[in-house]
Amino acid sequence: MNLFSHLECPLCHTTYDPRQIQTYCHEDFHPLLAKYNLQLGLSKSNLSSRPHDMWRYRELLPLNNDQFKTSLGEGFTPIIDLNTLGKKHNQRLLMLKDEALNPTGSFKARGLSMAISKVKELGLRKVSIPTAGNAGSAVSAYATRANIKAKVFMPKLTPNVFQLDNEIMGVHVHKVPGTIVDAAQSMKNQLDDTWFDLSTLKEPYRLEGKKTMGYEIAEQLNWQLPDVIIYPTGGGTGLIGIYKAFEEMQALGWIKDIPTRMISVQVDGCAPIVQAYIKGVAHAKKIESPAPTIANGLRVPSAFGDRLILDTIRKSKGSAIAVSDSDIMHAMRHFAQNEGIFLCPEGAATFAAYEELTLEGLISPDDQVLLINTGSAYKYIENIMEYELAGFQPLVHVLN
C-alpha cells in the first residue's frame, strides 16, 4: 500500500491533486512537498526482506503503480567508518556515505529514478533539465530506459565527460555560456511547455528520491541518527530531502529524536546560502558572476529552494560554511591518502568543512559525524588535472 496522499505548498498550505502532474506553487513561487498518510502507520520490520535499493521505502515514495518504476539499482550505498581520519581527529565516530556508487555515478540517480518513474506514470513523453553535470547524466540514463525523450542544458564550464555520457546515451546536450541559471533560461527560451521541466525543486518528485538517503542513514545506523551531517549544497535537494525523511520517520515512530545538525557546505566564490545564513535572513540573494570552481555542482548562484534549505539548517541547529577550491584539493588528497577513497570535489568540500568546523569548535570530539560524498571523482578528472596544471591557481577552464 502506498501512503502518498497529496502535494502541498508549505507556505500557503494549498493542496494539490496527487494523480495529476504538479510543478510548484505559482502563488508563492515555492516548491511543493509530497505528503503521506503517516498516521496509518508502517512497520520498519517490513523492510527486512526487501531488496537493498531505494525502492525498499516504496510506501513512502509518490509512485502509485509499480509498472512505471524505472530503476537501475540506485540507493543503499555504503556507510564507511573513517577509522584513520577519525582517530587522527580524535573523533568519536567519523563516517562517509558514498553516493559515488550509484548508477551514473552520483546521488542524482535517486531523484531521477523517482521523477522519471512518476513522469511515465502520468503519461508525459518529454523532459528537459538544466544541470551542473550529474543530474544530466541521470536524466539521460533513466529517460532512455523509460523510453522518454530528454534534452539537457549545461554550463559551458562543465567537464566534457558530462556531455559525452549524455550523448553516448543518445541525448542532445546544449552547452550554454554562464551558470546553471543561464542554462535554465536558455532551456526556457528554446523549449515549449510540452517538455516537462525537471529543474531542481520546480517539480516535487526528485526530492522524494533524494530523501531515501535519509531513510538509509537511519536504517544503516540501526535507527540512531548521527549528531552531524555535512552536505555539499547547490540546489539543496539532498539536504532538504534527508531531513524530510527524518521527520517522516519520527512521525512513523521509527526514530524518537532528531539530534542531527545539518551543515551546508558551499564554495567561497558562490555561497548564497552561507551568506543568508550568516545574515539571519529567510531568502538567499542571487550571487552575480560567481567564480568558476572545480566543484561544478556547487556553482548555483540562486536556489529555488533557498527558503527550505535555510529552514532546514536552522531548525536542525546546524550551520553553513564556505570553503575554497584550494581547501577542496587539499582535503581530497588528505582524505585519499588516509582512507583510500577518492572523493569528488563536492564530497571533498565536506571534509574540508569538517576540519574547519572542528577547529572552530562547532563539531566536538564527542559528536558522531557523517560526511556525504555525492558523486564519483572520476567524472572530475579534467577539472583536477587543469587545477594541478595551473599550479594551484584559481581555475582557468582551458577546454571551454
Ligand X SMILES: Cc1ncc(COP(=O)(O)O)c(C=O)c1O
Among 352, 375, 377, 387, binds ligand X (CB under 6 A): 375
Q: From CA 362, how far away is CA 376, in angstroms rounded?
A: 28
For the record, the C-alpha cell of 374 comes out as: 555525492
Query: Which one of the spans 6-14, 86-94, 132-140, 360-368 is the region binding ligand X (CB under 6 A)?
Result: 132-140
Task: Rank residues 206 and 252 by Cβ distance to ligand X and give the closer one.
Answer: 206
Among 9, 112, 135, 310, binds ligand X (CB under 6 A): 135
We find the least distance from the C-beta atom of residue 130 to ligand X, in angstroms, to be: 10
Query: Which one of the spans 67-75, 155-163, 166-174, 228-236 is the region binding ligand X (CB under 6 A)?
Result: 228-236
Task: Rank residues 38 and 290 by Cβ distance to ligand X and give the closer one.
Answer: 290
We find the least distance from the C-beta atom of residue 118 to ligand X, in angstroms, to be: 18
Among 374, 377, 383, 387, binds ligand X (CB under 6 A): 374
**CA atoms 262, 267, 268, 274: torsion sign:** negative
Give the footprint of ligand X on residues 185-204 (CB under 6 A): 200
Q: From CA 99, how far away is CA 363, in angstroms rounded?
A: 23
Among 134, 179, 199, 319, binds ligand X (CB under 6 A): 134
Q: From CA 154, how far away is CA 142, in angstroms rounded?
A: 18
Q: Which residue is nearest to ligand X (CB)?
A: 297
Q: From CA 236, how far away is CA 241, in angstroms rounded?
A: 8
Count of residues engaged in binding ligand X, rule: CB under 6 A: 18
**Interaction pattern, residues 229-258, with ligand X; x per rule: CB under 6 A:** ---xxxxxxx--------------------
We find the least distance from the C-beta atom of residue 147 to ligand X, in angstroms, to be: 25
Q: From CA 258, how far away is CA 247, in angstroms rounded?
A: 8
91 lines the binding site for ligand X (CB under 6 A): no
**Interaction pattern, residues 266-305, with ligand X; x per rule: CB under 6 A:** -------------------------------x--------
**Interaction pattern, residues 36-75, with ligand X; x per rule: CB under 6 A:** ----------------------------------------
We find the least distance from the C-beta atom of residue 207 to ligand X, in angstroms, to be: 9
We find the least distance from the C-beta atom of residue 40 to ligand X, in angstroms, to be: 29
102 lines the binding site for ligand X (CB under 6 A): no
Q: Judge contact between 300 and 131, C-beta under 8 A.
A: no
344 lines the binding site for ligand X (CB under 6 A): yes
Among 85, 101, 132, 332, binds ligand X (CB under 6 A): 132
Among 325, 346, 355, 367, binds ligand X (CB under 6 A): 346
Q: Judge contact between 258 and 225, C-beta under 8 A.
A: yes
We find the least distance from the C-beta atom of residue 271 to ligand X, in angstroms, to be: 13
Sheet holding 126-130, edge to edge: 172-176, 149-155, 126-130, 196-197
Query: Which one of the spans 49-57, 227-235, 267-275, 356-364 is the region binding ligand X (CB under 6 A)?
Result: 227-235
We find the least distance from the C-beta atom of residue 194 to ligand X, in angstroms, to be: 26
Task: Rank residues 102 and 186 by Cβ distance to ligand X and give the closer one.
Answer: 102
We find the least distance from the C-beta atom of residue 193 to ligand X, in angstroms, to be: 23
Q: From CA 77, how far away is CA 61, in angstroms rounded?
A: 18
106 lines the binding site for ligand X (CB under 6 A): yes
Q: Note the residues at the interface with ligand X (CB under 6 A).
A: 106, 132-135, 200, 232-238, 297, 344, 346, 374-375
